[in-house]
Each structure stands twice: as C-alpha cells, then as structure tokens.
C-alpha cells in the first residue's frame, strides 16, 4: 500500500470553526470546552480480553494529546450483551456522546429514529485519509452517520503444525474441508473450535458457507428483502453443511455452553486445529498463543463454484463509531469519532488485530506476519458482503441467531431452517 503524507492533526480551533457550517453535521452551538476539562463518554466492545482494547487506549491517548482539556471516558461491554444495551439506549434516548455499533442494517433504525448525528460536514476534514467507499456501509439515504476502524473479513484460522502432523492440506472446497475434518476426527481430535453460546461465532462459519454456496448477489438480495427467497437450495445447502459437521462430530465438545473467549482459548492452546472467525483473531494469536508461528490463515472453502469463488468474503467496513444527536459537544464528539477510528485503524494494524480502513501513512514494517497474510488475502477479494447479523435489520438478525442455535442443536432440519429464515425475511 502506498504511503501518503499525513494531514497534521487538526487544532481544536479548526474543529470549532466547523460549527459555522450549515447543513447536515454542522452545529449551531459551541463546545463547552473553554478553559475547563470536557469529558466525552464513549461505549465500545473493546473489553480487556479483546485484541482491540489496547488500540483503542492508544487512539484515545493520541486524541487527548492532540486536544488538551478533553478526556474520553471509554466504557466497554461484552459483544452479545452490548447489542441489547445499545438498542435499549437508543429507545430510551440514553446514548453516550460516542458509541460503537455495526454499520448496515444493524444501525439503520438508530439513524432513522433521528438519534444519530449526521457527519457529512465533518468528513470534509478527513476525506483525504479515508475514502467514501470505505465508509459506504455507514451511509444512509446518501448521508454519512459514522466512521469505521478497519475492514475485517471472515477467515479460517488454522494450526500449521497440526495440519502437518495429519498430512493434510488447506482445504479450498467443501469436499476437501470435510475430508480434512474426518482425518482429524479419526485421529481423535475435534477439528473445529467454536462458540454456540456466543452465536455470532458459529455464524461466522455459517455465513461464510452460505456466501460460498449462494454467492454475494443472492445473499445480499435475500437478507435485504429484494425479492430473493431464502427458501432456496443454495441456502439449504449451507445449513446442511452445518448439520453434516455436527453429525460427524467436528465441533469442540461443549460448544453450546462455551463463550468465544473460552472456545478460542482451546485453539490458542493448540487443542483444536481450526477456528472460523474474523481477521481480528490474528492479534489475539500473537498475544495469547504460546507459539504464534504455528498458526496461519486461509479463506473459507467454496461450497458451490458456480455461484462463488474463494475470493468472495464476508466482511468489509462495519465496526463503527457514531455520535449521539443529543451530545452537548457536537464538534468535539464528531472529531473524536473520526480521529479515534483513525487511531484504532493504525494501532490495530500495527498490533496485528485489524486490516486498516484508513490510509497507511506511517511505518508499517513491524506489522505481524499473520496480519500481513490476512491483508494479502483480503487484497485479492472480488466481493465483500456484510455479515448476516449486520446486513439484516436488528429484529431479523436476532431471529437468525436463534434459528442458527436451533439448527446446531438439531431442533431444526436444514430445510426447516431455510423456511423459517424465509418466513422471517418476508415480514415487512
């Protein structure tokens, strides 16, 4: 990636000048930071065990240094519980100044309710550092409402040494993948680590298989209610892939009761050879695995080559910071949303946790090899499709995760899962 000269950090006075602008994203009131410390509250899911925790702290420290007299109070929450909390906060009009959310369908109702501040005018200060394309999922009705940190993708993390011991190659197709799983099972090793308690982890695998079965166009149209039925053989096939893996005993024991932290710990400890999740796991492997060099990354295998290729990915710019429409410090909060996401983009990339959405205008020679591998894979992408529970509306996403748990538990057959999904997505 070509390096570009960084725009110097904006002085507070320059940001304050934005308040004179008119239209979406402008503010008619001045920030309350004249001579006294101003505290902005920010919610994120970057808990202490999360690989993005330190990048957020570094980004906050950088912002506070560039804006004397301003303090960012970051409160963190666990991923799944946060989804409920942020929805409740929007409904009760109790949002903090800045809040983490997921772009696309998840945040669409937040924006339409008028609870989120438009950032169009503020974006003018950063447009040379992050493209509108990178922010595409935060644009609603032609207006920008958030800023993203990274461009994560779903991938297959695997243990090279365990693969070598069993004499298996990285699978590129579904049949190859099943053969690899059977090889490990025959050797007494559960091949796939996952969490079904934190259902989004299982969804990382199912979403990827659905994409690699139905293709990007069909997935997008089905999930966004554009006339594509979910009750379709390609979606049934993806659900059947999960059933086949369950039936053959491919998943780690106790997956239904394990959190993501608990399940991934077995992968770092080299007890299971594969884990399907986002590109951010690279940072955790570096910090939590005893032998990080034993791990590598690959795309999720292709189920139907007529509809999809190995270069189709679930993911894209989704992890977002938005600003409450009711913040008392509009200009500072908007600046923080952009500059903290810019900082997280930088420090997450350097630590190995993420693929940057912002321009790389700094020395990136120290980026861990695992992250470089993900960046190389993502750089060859022919399509990006947001994850199911992000692309769909929040109500549809909640039902999807419930149905996926039922599919895993055997309470729903693949055909019943697809029919139930179609029924949910048929609701207005």
Q: Using 50, 70 and 90 to split pLDDT, how confident is the model at 12? A: very low
φ, ψ for residue 80, nearest 5 deg: -65, -45
Q: Using 50, 70 and 90 to split pLDDT, how confident is the model at 3? A: very low
- Per-residue confidence (pLDDT) for residue 36, from 0 to 100: 80
pLDDT at residue 2 is higher than 80: no
- pLDDT tens across 187-207, in order? 999 999 999 999 999 999 999
pLDDT at residue 212 is higher than 60: yes
pLDDT at residue 237 is higher than 60: yes
The strand pair at 192-193 and 274-278 is best described as parallel
Q: Which two tokens stand for residue 67?
A: 């804006």
Taking the C-alpha atoms of residue 217 and residue 150, their distance in angstroms, rounded to an integer, is: 23
Q: Is the pTM of this model over 0.85?
A: no
Taking the C-alpha atoms of residue 382 and residue 347, their distance in angstroms, rounded to an integer, is: 26
Tracing tokens 């692309």 back to the chain, one arrives at: 391
What class has domain 12-151+316-361?
alpha beta
Q: Which residues, 6+ apart, have CB-to-CB distance to 425 below 8 Å?
A: 222, 223, 225, 230, 392, 396
The 8-class DSSP code of residue 180 comes to H
Q: Using 50, 70 and 90 to split pLDDT, how confident is the model at 30? A: very low
Question: What is the arithmetic mean of pLDDT over 266-274?
Answer: 98
The residue among 126, 122, 127, 116 whose CA lies nearest residue 15 is: 122
- pLDDT tens across 140-178, in order? 999 999 999 999 999 999 999 999 999 999 999 999 999
Q: Where are the alpha helices (DSSP H) in 297-351?
A: 330-351
Residue 135 three-state SS? coil
- Per-residue confidence (pLDDT) for residue 229, from 0 to 100: 97
Q: CA triplet 369, 137, 320: central angle to 5 degrees? A: 65
The residue among 318, 336, 231 whose CA lies nearest residue 278 is: 318
CATH placement of domain 154-314+382-425: 3.40.190.10
Mean pLDDT taken over the chain: 91
- pLDDT tens across 384-420, in order? 999 999 999 989 999 999 999 999 999 999 999 999 9
Q: Matching CATH topology for 12-151+316-361 and 154-314+382-425?
A: yes
- Per-residue confidence (pLDDT) for residue 379, from 0 to 100: 81
Taking the C-alpha atoms of residue 76 and residue 265, their distance in angstroms, rounded to an integer, is: 21
| Residues 294, 369 contacting (CB under 8 angstroms) | no
- Per-residue confidence (pLDDT) for residue 428, from 0 to 100: 75
- pLDDT tens across 32-86, in order? 445 589 999 999 999 999 999 999 999 999 999 999 999 999 999 999 899 999 9
Domain ranges of the chain: 12-151+316-361, 154-314+382-425
Q: Which residues, 6+ apart, have CB-to-CB distance to 80 below 8 Å?
A: 198, 199, 200
- pLDDT tens across 339-361, in order? 999 999 999 999 989 999 999 99
What would the DSSP string read from start to end of 46-83? --TTSTTHHHHHHHHHHHHHHSTTEEEEEEE--HHHHH
What would the DSSP string read from start to end of 234-283? HHHHHHHHHHHHHHTT-BPTTGGG--HHHHHHHHHTTSSSEEEEETTHHH
């Amino acid at each position: 990636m070509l390096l570009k000269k960084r725009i110097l950090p904006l002085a507070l006075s320059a940001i304050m000048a934005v308040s004179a602008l008119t239209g979406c994203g402008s503010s008619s009131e001045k920030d309350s930071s004249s001579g006294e410390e101003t505290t902005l509250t920010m919610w994120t899911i970057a808990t202490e065990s999360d690989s993005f925790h330190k990048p957020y702290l570094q980004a906050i420290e950088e912002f506070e240094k560039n804006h004397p007299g301003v303090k960012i109070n970051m409160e963190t929450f666990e991923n799944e519980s946060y989804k409920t909390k942020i929805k409740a906060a929007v409904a009760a009009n109790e949002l903090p100044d800045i809040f983490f959310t997921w772009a696309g369908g998840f945040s669409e109702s937040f924006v339409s309710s008028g609870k989120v501040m438009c950032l169009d005018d503020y974006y003018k200060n950063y447009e040379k550092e992050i493209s509108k394309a990178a922010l595409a999922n935060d644009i609603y009705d032609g207006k920008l409402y958030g800023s993203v940190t990274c461009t994560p993708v779903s991938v297959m993390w695997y243990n090279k040494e365990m693969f070598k011991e069993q004499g298996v190659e990285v699978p590129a197709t579904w049949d190859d993948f099943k053969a690899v799983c059977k090889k490990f099972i025959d050797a007494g090793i559960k091949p796939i680590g996952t969490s079904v308690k934190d259902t989004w982890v299982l969804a990382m695998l199912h979403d990827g298989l659905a994409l690699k079965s139905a293709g990007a166009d069909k997935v997008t149209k089905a999930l966004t209610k554009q006339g594509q039925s979910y009750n379709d053989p390609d979606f049934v096939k993806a659900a059947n892939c999960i059933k086949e893996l369950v039936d053959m005993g491919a998943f780690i024991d106790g997956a239904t009761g394990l959190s993501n932290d608990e399940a991934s710990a077995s992968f770092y400890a080299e007890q299971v050879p594969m884990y399907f999740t986002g590109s951010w796991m690279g940072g955790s492997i570096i910090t939590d695995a005893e032998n990080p060099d034993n791990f590598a990354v690959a795309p999720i295998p292709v189920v139907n080559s007529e509809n999809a290729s190995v270069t189709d990915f679930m993911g894209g710019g989704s992890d977002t910071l938005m600003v409450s429409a009711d913040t008392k410090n509009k200009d500072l909060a908007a600046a923080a949303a952009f500059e903290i996401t810019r900082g997280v983009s930088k420090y997450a990339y350097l630590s190995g946790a993420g693929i940057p959405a912002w321009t790389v205008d700094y020395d990136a020679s120290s980026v861990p090899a695992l992250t470089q591998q993900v960046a190389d894979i993502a750089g060859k992408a022919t399509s990006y499709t947001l994850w199911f529970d992000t692309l769909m509306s929040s109500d549809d996403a909640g039902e999807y995760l419930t149905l996926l748990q039922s599919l895993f538990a055997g309470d729903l057959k693949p055909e019943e899962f697809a029919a139930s999904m179609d029924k949910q997505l048929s609701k207005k």
